[in-house]
Copies of this chain bind each other. A is one copy, B any other.
Amino acid sequence: MIDRYTRKILTELWSDARRYQTWLGVELAACEAMEAASFVPKGTASAVRARADGKLDPARIAEHETRTRHDVIAFLTHVEELAGEPARWLHLGMTSSDVLDASLAILLRDAADEILSGVDELRGACARQAEAHRGTLMIGRSHGIHAEPITAGLVFAGFYSELGRARRELVTARDEISVGKIAGAVGTYASLSPEIESQALSSLGLTAEVVPTQIVARDRHAAYFAALARLGTAVERIAMTVRHWQRTEVGEATEAFGKGQKGSSAMPHKKNPILSENLCGLARLLRSYAGAALENVALWHERDISHSSVERVIGPDATGIADFMVRRAASLVDGLVVNADRMRQNLEHTGDLFFSEAVMLALVHKGMARQAAYELVQAQALATSATLGRGGVAPGQPSFRTRLASDPDIASRLTPADLDKAFDLQHHLRYAGTIIDRALGDKIH
């Protein structure tokens, strides 16, 4: 977890202080459920809470752990220091993982909530740009090569939609991880009961593992980190797109450039898409964490603890980075400087050749055989193509439309009005609004 890529709220969420406080919450919830079951004396939990809640000292627990080499025992020793005799009733019939797994579930769930709110921020930014650039013309590209026109709004709508899918998976994963167990050493409730567990977990906003072992099953965690990796790819796609748009030769959009920001120590006038590049790198990290989590599932028998070191690292790191990514991406998208003029210029680069298909189809609908129509149009397209410079058809050369209109086989079938329609960008893009609307209509939360 490095400060550079973590918001304070996530740093705090994964702090020792918060973790121990969460453990205490779990112990107290379990204790209250045991009180209700007449398993421990009434009033125990409230007595402990009064003396320990908010007063835990991580440094003191660390001292105990140095000696006991067992974190939960160290914690309980400290709680007893603070709360005295009533604290001895805590943890009765429980095993360490009863505390640890419920706590991890709470922290991962709360981290997911932060991330989800960031996703909403990012989706909001994408929706705003989709609306703002609903009709901003740009060339669509496949293989990095100009293809046919689109609008910039469509691209943002695509991001919005993809983020919606990532969000849905993360919500599912959040629910799947919101599971604990208060079921003892091997999950049999030997000295406990499903009722105690149910009450304790429900007061923590968790449900019970269906078949607990010593721990909650780790496929749940694997799904959680996979959901973060997928969210990472959605952000990566946005960032990758911005990087392409900001290329010198493309220049269709640029990241906002802060006051005082310097682009390069050698070339101060350069504006580099460093936020987007940064996001692409972070997506790689989320992928890698998901791989480690998948190796954590097939533990030995009723548990081995090999998952723990992995989770201590990737729990904070993956959630911290995912949260950072969606926030940074939101500000990136919101601040993006879209250069509609340049988009329009680039669109003209291929001299209207992208209307070939519309012309060909127009001929077909006038009764011409498809292959014949194809060949007629293709001949003029190739002739035009040979005269293309960087800004479209070279000065003094006939345009593609002019060439088509001069071809007697075409002119005998298509009126100028027919050609107008085939060359009509508005017609070409008549469904752009429909697509954007159906994307933005998906207001999932």
Contacts and interface: CB of A to CB of B under 8 A. Distances in A.
A136 interface: no
A260 B77 CA distance: 13
A347 B258 CA distance: 28
A72 B294 contact: no
Interface string A206-228: 00001111100101101100100
B285 A309 contact: yes
Interface stretch (A101-109, A113-121, A240-248, A405-413): A240-248
Interface string A230-267: 10011011011101101111100000001011111111
A66 to B, nearest CB: 9
Given A370-B92, A428-B188, A5 B313 contact: yes
26 contacts: A2-B312, A5-B309, A5-B313, A69-B260, A70-B261, A70-B263, A89-B370, A142-B186, A143-B246, A143-B270, A146-B248, A148-B184, A149-B188, A162-B217, A162-B219, A169-B223, A188-B435, A211-B439, A222-B230, A243-B304, A248-B349, A277-B308, A281-B296, A281-B306, A290-B291, A313-B321
Contacts of A358: 190-191
Interface size class of A (residues with CB under 8 A): 35 or more
A438 interface: yes
A65 to B, nearest CB: 10
Contacts of A361: 92-93, 191
A132 interface: no
A301 B248 contact: no
Given A145-B248, A194-B434, A285-B314, 13 more contacts: A92-B361, A140-B214, A142-B213, A143-B272, A145-B270, A165-B223, A184-B266, A230-B294, A237-B297, A244-B300, A249-B349, A287-B291, A290-B291
A305 to B, nearest CB: 4
A262 B308 CA distance: 17
A331 interface: no
A210 B439 contact: yes
B176 A165 contact: yes
A144 B281 CA distance: 15
A122 interface: no
Q: Nearest 5 A-B pairs (CB), nearest first?
A: A140-B186, A281-B309, A143-B272, A233-B297, A158-B211
Nearest to A157: B211
Interface stretch (A17-25, A47-55, A378-386): A378-386
B287 A295 contact: yes
A199 interface: no
A1 interface: yes
Nearest to A356: B267
Contacts of A309: 5, 278, 281-282, 285
A423 interface: no
Contact of A294 (B144, B233, B249, B346): B233
A183 B219 CA distance: 38
B222 A294 contact: no
Contact of A147 (B96, B162, B270, B292): B270
A68 interface: yes
Contacts of A42: none
A264 B234 CA distance: 27
Of A92, A230, A241, A267, the most chain B CB neighbours within 10 A belong to A267
Of A140, A146, A258, A364, the most chain B CB neighbours within 10 A belong to A140
Contact of A247 (B249, B262, B432): B249
A434 B285 CA distance: 38
Interface string A301-332: 11111111110111011000100000000000
